[in-house]
Amino acid sequence: MSSDPQLWVVRLGPMSYGSALELQRAAARGRISGEIPEDLLLLVEHPPVITLGRSTKDANLLVSPQLLAARGVELFEVERGGDVTFHGPGQLVGYPIVDLKRHRKDLHWYLRQVEEALIAALGDYGIPGERSAGYTGVWTGGGEGVGRKIASIGVHARDWVTWHGFALNVSTDLTYFDLMVPCGISGVTMTSIERETGRQAPLKGVERAVAAAFGRVFALEPRWVAADALASLPGRK
């Protein structure tokens, strides 16, 4: 087995947001303690859920919790940075559990690296990923103007270990974003890989592209690890 630093990539498949949140918090504790010796990338697809980050303004959620519940959309307040966003079917959500002490102790650098990995993965689909000045996330089609947002990013860290992460729209029902001001950016247009390319993009293929890009950007060797390897993490309920 290679002695190079690894990125353990875990395909979780469809999973409720609450279960994934519990798992990534436990994984972060394991990474902080050293019980998990390598960085992780957890890949998951959630049922419809809206999450409120630390910077969320009340006015950016445009409907009541009761209306969300009636539509089958869960609602969570979480510790990540950023404003309100949506996760749902057809969207690849990634939770990198990365020990920045082994990379660079700089959260701004880390956010740019996550953006860079997503931009590289989008390149595999012929989509020119872009940054937008003053915002975190990935856009496309901007040129000299404001582009369409294709991926959102919001993270948290303790003892320089990260959790939470990114949401990349693959075949997402974009009408869910009408329930909010996405990421608190007024007038933003959300898009997806399938909308940009006009063709289907199987989620597993996008997972492979993203995992490879994260490996390159963070100078880690991706290694696919079975989800049940995380079942005995300390602190899981």
Query: What is the Cα–Cα distance from 89 to 72, expressed in whole angstroms?
Result: 13
User: Residue 34 corresponds to which amino acid?
Assistant: G
Are 38 and 5 spatial neighbours (Cβ–Cβ below 8 Å)?
yes
Count of CB atoms within 10 A of residue 124's CB?
16
Report which secondary-structure segment, H or E, holds 114. Answer: helix 107-123
Q: Which of 183, 193, 203, 210 is catalytic?
A: 183
Burial call 14-33: b when 16+ CB within 10 Å, e when fewer: ebebeebbebbbbbbbbbbe
Q: How many residues in the chain?
A: 237
Helix (H/G/I), strand (E/B), else coil: 121: helix
Supply 64's token pair. 């009541």
Residue 166 annotated in active site: no
| Closest to 35 measured CA to CA, from 110, 99, 103 | 99
Residues labelled catalytic: 183
